[in-house]
Structure 1
C-alpha cells in the first residue's frame, strides 16, 4: 500500500492510499471489464481486501459471503439459508460462491430492501422476492424427503422413488416446482435448501398445505432411501396446525404466514 490520490480502478471511489494494479491482479485475471475506472492505476484498500484475502477460511474469493456496513460474514450453506430468510440490516450484499474458483466479492449488488433484493449466484445476479422465496424453499425442502436435489433440478426422477413417495403426492410437489425449473431462482433455492428428516412433518405439510388426502395415497417409505440424502444438513422450518416443528420461535410467525402457490 502506498499514498495515492485518485479513484480506485475497480470500484471508482476516491482514495488517499492504494496498491498498484500489478501487485493486486495476476496475469490470469480476466475481469478487467468490471473496472469502474478503467484508466486508474491503483486499487483502494477495500477492493484490495476483497481480491487478496484468499487464504484458508478467510478467502472472499473462495467462500460465500454476506456483508453490510457493520459486519462481514462467511456463512456455510445452512447459515446462508438463514441470511436469505432473514437478511441483515440494509444496505447489504449477498454473494454465493458455487465453484469457489471465481472472484465474486466485488461483483455483488448493494441492496436496500429486505423484502426484494438481489443475490449474486456465482456471477449471475438473481432477484429474490422474499415471500416467493420462502414458499418455494418450503416446497423443495419437503420434496427432498423422497428425492435428490439433482432429480428436482433436472426433472428426471427415479420411478421407484415416485412410487414410494406416492404418485399423486409427487405430482402435487412437481406442479409447484416445475415453473421454476431452469431458472437461477430455483438454483439459489437448491443451493441452500435443507432436507426435512421427519415423516410426520412431511405428512402434515401435504395435508395442510397441498390438500392431499393421504388415505388415497400409496404408502410411501417410512424411512427415505439413502440415495435421496443430499448431505448432513439441518432441519427445515415448517408448521402444522399452528405448531412449529424444529423452527426457532422467532421464525414461527413467518412460517405461519405461508400460503399456497
Structure 2
C-alpha cells in the first residue's frame, strides 16, 4: 500500500481530528484540525491515467502544477514520471488548507485505522505501543517538508519504520524502549542537546556525579549519530523525581547514590512525565514481580 493511500483512508475514518498542543506561553491548547479535502477543491478534475506520485490508476485528479508549489523539489519521488495529475489520496498529503493555513506536512502523526495528530508525548506512547498494522509513524521536525511520499507502511509492531523528517528510521521496539528509558533518566541532569552532541557542561557533570555521568554516557555513546537516538530524543520526556533516578542507578547501573544533586540552573528540556506514563523499570527490592515488570527487566538486559 502506498503511504498516502493509508493516510487518506485513515483521515476519512476519523470524524474529528484533535491536536493537543501549547501556545507561545506554554499554556495547554486543544484545537480541531481541518485538513483540505481534495475532492472539494476547484482544481479536482476528470482525468484518465495513472497518478504521478503513487502510480495508481485514477479517474479524477489534480494537475501537478496546481498541486505543487514552485519550491517543490522531490520530483524523484514519482512512481509515474510521465503522469500529469496526482490522485485524491496523494493530493490530500500535499495540499494546504489555505483558510486555516495548515497541511499534513506540519504535524507528527500516526496513521492506522484512524488518523492521530500527535504531540511529542503522545507520539512517545504510540511508539512504545504501536497500533495494529498497517500503520505509518511520522516525526515532523521542521514541519515544512512533504514526508508522506517518503514514508514506509509498517506491517509489524515489533520492528517498524519511523519517518524522522526525510530519513526513514528502522525501530526495534525492544531497543527503542530501553534506550528511551535510559535517556529519560539521563535527562534529569542534562539537556537533549548535550546528550545528542556529547558536549556536556562541566558544571552539570560535577553536579550529577562523574561516575554516574560516565555510566550513562558509555551506554549512550554507541547510539550517537544514529536515527534511533534521533527518534528517541524527539519524544523523550524528563523524569522529575530523584528517587526514580537513584533507583535506576542502583538497579541498572549498579551505582548507589542517595544524595540528590542540586543544580544552579534547570536544564531546558521537555516537560516531565507522570509515573503512570513512564517506561517500566526495576529497583532492587522495589521491583514489581508482575509479568509486565519482568518483561521490562529482560528488555533492559538485552539493550546492554
Q: TM-score of the superposition, structure 2-length normalised?
A: 0.77
Q: For residue 216 of structure 2, what is the aligned residue in structure 1?
A: 173
The structure 1 segments of at least 4 consecutive aligned residues displaced by more than 6 Å after TM superposition are: none
Which residue of 255, 268, 271 corresponds with 1:212? 255
1:52 aligns with 2:91: no
Deviations 1:22-81 (A, max 9, x none): 11011111111111111011110011111004565852111112112x211110000010
Give the 3 Å change call, closer, same or farther, for CA 238–164 of structure 1 in structure 2. Answer: farther
CA contact (8 A) 2:204 2:263 kept: no
Matched residues in 1 for 2:143 and 2:97: separation?
11
Which of 287, 291, 294 is matched with 1:242 structurally? 287
CA contact (8 A) 2:163 2:169 kept: yes
Q: Cα–Cα, structure 1 residues 253 and 10, in superposed 2: closer, same or farther, change >3 Å?
A: farther
Partner residue of 2:115 out of 72, 92, 107: 72
Indicate how the Cα distance of structure 1 residues 181 and 7 shifts in structure 2: closer, same or farther if over 3 A, else same: same
Structure 1 counterpart of 2:10: none
CA shift, 1:125, in A, is 1.0
The alignment partner of 1:214 has SS state of coil
Which residue does 1:259 correspond to in 2? 300
Q: Matches of residues 92-241 of structure 1 in structure 2 within 5 Å? A: 92-214=135-257, 219-221=259-261, 224-235=263-274, 236-240=278-282, 241=286
The corresponding residue for 1:16 is 59
1:150-196 Cα deviation digits (max 9, x unpaired): 11111111111111111111111011100011112111110000010
CA distance in 2, matches of 1:130, 1:225: 36
Moved more, 226-235 or 120-129: 226-235
CA distance in structure 2 between the aligned counterparts of 1:196 and 1:51, rounded to whole angstroms: 37
Q: 2:107 aligns with which of 45, 63, 74?
A: 63
Q: Which runs of 5+ in 2 are unaligned?
A: 1-43
Q: Tell me, which stretches of 5 or more residues in structure 1 are unaligned?
A: none
* TM-aligned CA distance change 1:251 to 1:22, over 3 Å: farther
CA 1:134–1:225: 2 relative to 1, 3 Å: farther
Sort the Cα spacing of 1:78 and 1:54 in 2 relative to 1 into closer, same or farther, 3 A: farther
Local SS of the residue matching 1:73: strand
* Further displaced range: 56-65 or 103-112: 56-65
3-state SS, counterpart of residue 65 of structure 1: strand
Q: For residues 181-213 of structure 1, give each alpha carbon's deviation from its aligned partner in whole angstroms, at most 9, with x where no partner exists.
A: 111211111000001011001111110111113
Q: TM-score, normalised by structure 1?
A: 0.89
The residue correspondences of 1:33-48 to structure 2 (distance < 5 A) are 33-48=76-91
Change (3 A) 1:251 1:48: farther
Cα 1:112–1:203 shift into 2, 3 Å = same
- Change in Cα spacing, 1:210 to 1:204, as seen in structure 2 (3 Å) is same
Specify which of 123, 126, 130 is matched with residue 87 of structure 1.
Answer: 130
Mapped to 1, the partners of 2:295 and 2:146 lie a distance apart of: 34
The total of aligned residue pairs comes to 252
Distance 1:200 1:106 in 2: 45
